Amino acid sequence: MAVVYLIPAVLHPEGYHAISDTVITAIRSCEVFFTENERTTRRYFKQLWKEMVIDDYEWHTISDELQTTEHFRKSIQESKTIGIVSEAGCPGVADPGQKLVEIAQSMNAEVKPLTGPSSLLLALMASGMNGQQFQFVGYLPIDSAERKKALKNLEEESARKKSTQLFIETPYRNNRMLEDILKSCHPETKICLAVNLTGPDESVKTKKVSDWKQKTPDLNKQQVVFLLYAG
């Protein structure tokens, strides 16, 4: 029977302490890897296992979905040990990999998720917001007017359901996102900024909108998870 390992990757270049020996053992057992970014994954694996001979393994890039799924099905049919890796964090959770796992399940392969850093879970844990009811909505609209509308909708849903709303943004647009949050959300709504998780400069702070307005951080080109709670 084929085995599919879901291999977590570091969130930060200096976050290797968050990767367990179990992950390294799984990597050693794999024959073929399906990865979001082959170059990044090769470098990551060499950091974890310096003796690894990269060319001894079969590599496929997840972005080429049609070709990838054909190779993936073939690997399962051949009962290979497979690793799925995203560029950062856990594959299939706000990252590529879900489609391949769906195929693995449909073909009765053994799917093994490995423990590792998830920016969403770490942010939620440290936010002090509702961890019983929450929703990750991915990226909000790029257009400022549309983004403000989306933020108001999330705020209303959070107030109605007492749920935590999580979302992300491209690093160079973080400051514009925060600006729109502070302009469109109620002063009492809580906002958490989880920045550079697992890195040496990690910061997770939860404040009301009115408090963030007093001193607004510079989030440009930082890795940020935004959390909103209006319950």
pLDDT the model gives residue 65: 66
CATH of domain 3-113: 3.40.1010.10
pLDDT the model gives residue 173: 98
Sheet-wide strand order for 3-7? 58-61, 32-35, 81-85, 3-7, 110-113
Q: Which CATH superfamily is domain 119-229 in?
A: Tetrapyrrole methylase, C-terminal domain (3.30.950.10)
**What digits encode the pLDDT tens for the residues 151-189?**
999 999 999 999 999 999 999 999 999 999 999 999 999
Instruction: Please state the domain extents for the chain.
Output: 3-113, 119-229
**What digits encode the pLDDT tens for the residues 85-112?**
999 999 999 888 999 999 999 999 999 9
pLDDT the model gives residue 94: 86
3-state helix, strand, coil in the chain (%, to 5): 40, 25, 35
Low-confidence ranges of the chain (pLDDT < 70): 65-66
Candidates 122, 118, 139; CA nearest to 131 is 122
